[in-house]
A and B are shown apart, each in its own frame.
Chain A
Amino acid sequence: MGETKELICILSSSDWIQVSAILVNVGLTIWIVIVLQNKLTNRRSLKDYVIEEIKGFRQEYRIFFNNLCSNKAQSQTVLSWFKLMNIQITDLMEIVDKQYNIDKNTLAPFQNDLRKLITENEDFIKCFKHTHIKFSAVSQSSIIKFQQQNYHLFNKMIVLINKSK
């Protein structure tokens, strides 16, 4: 105890400045480690969550396209499926727009154009009153073309989210 008192008396004003600088640095380091790291972790966690959701949508559409092209899709469930997907995508895109400043209409072709493409398709209309929808080769090729033109949008979103701060 006596030694500490002596040490305090020996310290000059420049030493005090150095001690204060060390204390500030220590405080700053602790703040960075605790607060910033937490923020970064949270940010990363949110990104991971959003990306997983997008991957989930991509998978849902993949299954949907497979069912359409293998004539397994049921006319009664198509409209409700579109509605459900649209609600889920709209919700997620609100977050994506606010958090990462990414256009919330990025997946609009899947939300709007695809629904129009399918529900106004001649084969769909013909089969609407029946259980299963049978798509002709021409219809299937228009569905495949849609996939080719728009599937990259899911990857584009994942890249944009990863790139964003």
Chain B
Amino acid sequence: MLTINIKNDFSAYPGLRHCNLSDNSGEHFYHELLNKKFKEAYEKNDRLTVILDGTDGYAPSFIDEAFGNLIYDYSLDIVKKYLIIISTEEPIWIQALEKDTYPKWEERRKGGMNPIVTMEHEPWFRFVNGSIEQNQWEKPRN
């Protein structure tokens, strides 16, 4: 099983939503780690476990941006099938994702309302018409 432990693999001090607002942002985490690892899980028909525990705490915007982008790029059905989130310290994040982030970003995906990026990222993966494609889907707006 593939695992991302945010504290060990990313940062013990996660920041805010976008890269232009703070270090270790949700946007950064998504493009640096989550998008790629999730693609690996999907291709191996395995599940990706993301462990939220152990960090210094999260801003809701970090969680929303990171996992919201995942919904946007892969769709709610696929994310639900291949993603496991562990948050024993603050189970509230799982509820917040399921009640708020997932439906909101799925709507956004269906409505074609593109995610915002605040810095250049390497091409990343997106599920398009039944297959995964890699592209620099968004660019920072000036």
Contacts and interface: CB of A to CB of B under 8 A. Distances in A.
B92 interface: yes
Interface of A: 76, 79-84, 86-87, 90, 111-112, 115-116, 119-120, 125, 128-129
Interface of B: 13-16, 21-23, 56-61, 89-92, 96
Contacts, number: 47
A134 B90 CA distance: 28
Given A119-B16, A128-B15, A129-B22, A111 B92 contact: yes
Contacts of A119: 16, 59-61
A112 B96 contact: yes
Nearest to A83: B57
A77 to B, nearest CB: 9
A116 B60 contact: yes
Given A86-B90, A90-B91, A80 B96 contact: no
27 contacts: A79-B14, A79-B56, A79-B57, A79-B58, A79-B59, A81-B57, A83-B56, A83-B57, A83-B58, A83-B89, A83-B90, A84-B57, A87-B89, A87-B90, A90-B91, A90-B92, A111-B92, A112-B60, A112-B92, A119-B16, A119-B61, A120-B60, A125-B16, A125-B22, A128-B21, A128-B22, A129-B22
